[in-house]
Structure 1
Amino acid sequence: MLKTFFSSNSDDLMINDLRVAIFNLLFAKNNDGEFMIKVTNKDLSDKLDKIGVKNIFSQNENTYDIVAETTSKLIKRGLLEKKDGNNFYFTPDTKERLTFKDAILGEIIIDPEKFKNTLLIKDNIPTDDFLFIEDCYNNQTTHIIRNEGDRKLIELQHIINHALKRTTPGSALIPPLKKDNTSLSSLLNDGFSGINIFNYIATIGRTEFKMVCSTTRKIEDTFSVSSLANINPEFDKEHLKWMDTNCKEN
């Protein structure tokens, strides 16, 4: 498990990064895994070295090359699996791995049936980072979602909060997709923005395409409600409608 720290002038962002790092560290320890920190700031790397925190300083985003030795060990131990045909890896999730005692939050029980729209599902999508969402009112975990490393995902959380009438700062409920015959063309015909349809789907963490994709054609090539139906998704046009109104295309 690899957590990347980026330089930032935002205290809130750094605090959030620290929360994510702590959560990832505890998650790795409770699942017999290994945790490494990658930093893009040499000064931060030097400070971590001084206090004995193992870290990697690199601006190379090919994390699998950097942690090749660790990755190989985890594969041999059955804690990582290699997806056929490429160099992506994913953690095989089992019911046992979704329940563990967190040193800060206490016992965390993640019901696979209840949390189908989180990253902790068997979708074979490679993940090397978690985005830990907490309720700031009571400091309870609300969701654990895949973090694709795109700052836009973090920005969209505020929009999603409002769309779902959640006013709690710092927490986000990920909108689900309904099992119906909704298609990209029908949504576009209804006047929805192509990029916001894409953002809505990508934020859920259900699909393999990345949020950096910005053309309607690329969205159309990969968008398929039918392919999502086997994991019981739900689609709510009201949520998308609010996002479409408030998240303008750049």
Structure 2
Amino acid sequence: MKIKTRFAPSPTGNLHFGNIRTALFSWLFAKKNDGKFFLRIEDTDVLRNVEGSVKNIIKVMKWLGLNWDEKIYFQSKRLYLYKKIIFFMLKNGFAYKCYCSKTVLEEKRNHQILNNEKPKYDGTCRNIQNSNFIFNNSFVVRFRNPLKGYVKFFDEIRGIIKFKNSELDDFIIQRRNGMPTYNFCVVADDLDMKITHVIRGEDHISNTPKQVNIFTALSANVPKYAHLPILLDENKKKFSKKNNNNDFFKYFEEGFLPEAMLNYLVRLGWSHGNKEIFSIDEMKNLFSFKNVSKSSSIFDKKKLLYLNKYYINNFTNEKIISLLKYYFEKENIDILNGPNVKKVFKVFKNRCFSLREIVICSSYLYKKCVNFKNLFLVKCNKKKFLIILKVVYFNFKNIKIWISSEIWKTIQLISYKNNFSLKKIIYILRKIFTGKSSSPSISKILYLIGYAKVIFSLKKFIFFIIKKFF
């Protein structure tokens, strides 16, 4: 039997970590077993569909390299299949038409709640023999759920799970507008696509007995199930599509690497000993439901940042630099107006956790000139400051080989010979050339900026100070 899994998101919002972890585990299980992995868009709930969601789903899947087999399946384009199966179920007594109005159903529900009963359909239309006597043409189609016995299934993570049929409902499988419902479509699609393993979140456990009963009614093979533990955000709340902060694709925009994202995701509820770093091939070879936890996992941004930094520092320079150029362009930074990107990466890679952070932190290296309107000087002793600046300017002019080690040696000599505070010299240069209170080694920054721009900027800054304060 060829293993077949699927990822079946609904386009009701952007994908988040919980969604993608489900996709990853489904993909890994299929690939490990030389099986097939399908992408299915469950878009029959038209009113809840969000414009752009399908594009977001495809973008995320492609970015992560979670390639799917065959075409993308859209439920909205498979209505012919659903109608065919529902007709069969009506004809053979596995389903029936329910003519109860919404008002009547609501009254019954409220009555059950008042009597501390579990709200469920009471079966009013279950045994109507001839629908021709019904004058109300508005109806839904309900599944004729067994009234007695149990429905049980084996969960690959949790073992045997059992429900009483008496606790289940004659749930709706087709709405009044003719559109089929989630629990029915899932079964029809999984049956048609010959899905062998359904991997999804534990919040779907309550749906599973309904779906198993439909499979059984149709005399079809029931797929195996694996319900993953809930994934919680940093506030220990369930991830939600309604929260825009949970949009998974924003991590691409922030400069995270897909390999880091996958490595982080695979460790959310799954483990292999104490191993932390996994290549894609290792994930596929080692993945097993036996090592999936039943407990909820909590999203930890610090851990993700650590992994992203690890991959940034361990990938080939060529790959990272090609990606960095994309983020420089996205920030409208002209890399031709500054140092070589490869040299910049070498200086900043150990300080930053994402590619975009490298770009933002090094952006001042690509400015055409220094911004002299930084009035931090007001708090300084103007004469002392000007003296230091002139000494630095004349000493820097005499540097023969513009490399970091020579620049640093010159700064040290300036401090020693003129009895200037080394910290003060560094502080002044850092403020002038970066506008920040911290940065990589100032000698490395000045080297990246380049001799001509440093000398020109220092000279211009000296005239700026003289004109402004003297």
Query: TM above 0.5, one fold?
Result: no
TM-score under structure 2 length normalisation: 0.20
TM-score by length of 1: 0.31
| Structure of greater Rg | 2
